[in-house]
Amino acid sequence: MKKPVLFTDLDGTLLDARTYSFDAALPALRLLGRLDVPVVICSSKTRAEIEHYRGKLGNRDPFIPENGGAVFIPRGYFPDDAQVTVPGDEVEKHGYRVIHLGASYRDLRRALMELREEGFDVRGFGDMYPEEIASATGLPIKEAVMAGMREFDEPFFFPGGEDGQEKLVTAVKEKGFNITKGLFYHILGASDKGRAVSILIGMYRKQYGDILTVALGDSPNDLSMLHSVEHPIIVEKHDGGYDPRLAAENFEQAAGAGPEGWNRAVIKFLKETGYRI
């Protein structure tokens, strides 16, 4: 039997979009733990936020913050023969092997300020106090502070309509950056979730040989991650239905929103993989 490796988004997927609770996913999470299935968090959230939730989940696997801006691998997680040559700068930091894939936050902030000078009504997390981030996201103040600790990606607000959005995308790309959308717009470098996921897949294959990769997400910024695995699954939005861009793809659709749908889809996947649940 191939060893499963699971990649998951957080907001609106493993975490409820309104309460940020993962309680509805606990049965599947406990099952994954019992079966020793790696659960790799791949989110737009910062390192500080992901570490906060890894602590709550008891998760000790690698993780990918800020839409693929880097890969964080706990020191000693893979044996030496699993270390593969990867693109991007590497450092040892915070007890991790860190593979940098994204742009620097300083460069992203400068680009956002240039966009504002060019007439785009954009406002990033770096322009906001923690109380404002908390109000916009529904996060507690402590987590809003963590959300502002950006390293590779800047979430921002832009009230322009479809025409304005097209002009914004063009302007961002002319500056050498990319733009994606989850709960908010994000400006980032030449990185995405899929690139980071592919790096870890290579490492897991060296470690375990045959593996079976699965990913769960709910937003357009999950698209590259979902395309990078063998078994992509999308969960419903909290207000019903699936994101139209993801629904247009040939992805499995979980029966339920957020962690409820996540729980059902993961248990179904494990049963179909051959585990006796």
Q: Give the three-class secondary structure for 124.
A: strand
Beta bridge partners of residue 23, listed in sequence order: none
Could you please state the CATH topology (level 3) that the domain comprising 3-102+192-273 is classified under: Rossmann fold (3.40.50)
Kindly give the confidence (pLDDT) of every residue in the chain, 277 residues in length, as a single tens digit, with 9 standing for 90 and above: 899 999 999 999 999 999 999 999 999 999 999 999 999 999 999 999 999 999 999 999 999 999 999 999 999 999 865 555 666 678 888 899 999 998 999 999 999 999 999 999 999 999 999 999 999 999 999 999 999 999 999 999 998 777 788 999 999 999 999 998 877 899 999 899 999 999 999 999 999 999 999 999 999 999 999 999 999 999 999 888 999 999 999 999 999 999 999 999 999 999 999 888 7
Active-site residue, from 9, 16, 192, 243: 9
What's the angle, vertex CA 139, arms to CA 135 and CA 145, rounded to 5?
A: 90
Pair of tokens at residue 185: 């717009």
**Is 243 a known active-site residue?**
no
Domain boundaries, the chain: 3-102+192-273, 105-188
Residue 86 is predicted with a pLDDT of 66
Return the SS3 of 88. coil
CATH number of 105-188: 3.30.980.20
67 Rama sector, left if φ>0, alpha if ψ -120 to 50, beta otherwise: left
Return all residues near 233 (Cβ < 8 A) that are at least 6 apart: 214, 215, 216, 217, 226, 251, 252, 253, 254, 265, 269
> How far is 252 from 91, CA to CA, in rounded Å?
37
Instruction: Kindly list the distances between the CA atom of residue 50 and the CA atoms of 8, 63, 98, 143, 241, in Å, as whole numbers in the listed order.
Output: 12, 8, 14, 10, 27
Q: What does the chain come to in residues?
A: 277
Edge-to-edge order in the sheet of strand 89-93 = 89-93, 96-100, 70-74, 63-64, 39-42, 3-8, 211-217, 231-236, 252-257
The amino acid at residue 39 is: V
Instruction: Please check whether residue 222 is in contact with residue 214, taking contact to mean a CB–CB distance below 8 angstroms.
Output: no
- pLDDT value of residue 84: 59
Q: How far is CA 172 from CA 65, 120, 168, 180, in A?
A: 21, 11, 6, 11
Residue 93 pLDDT: 85
pLDDT for residue 28: 98
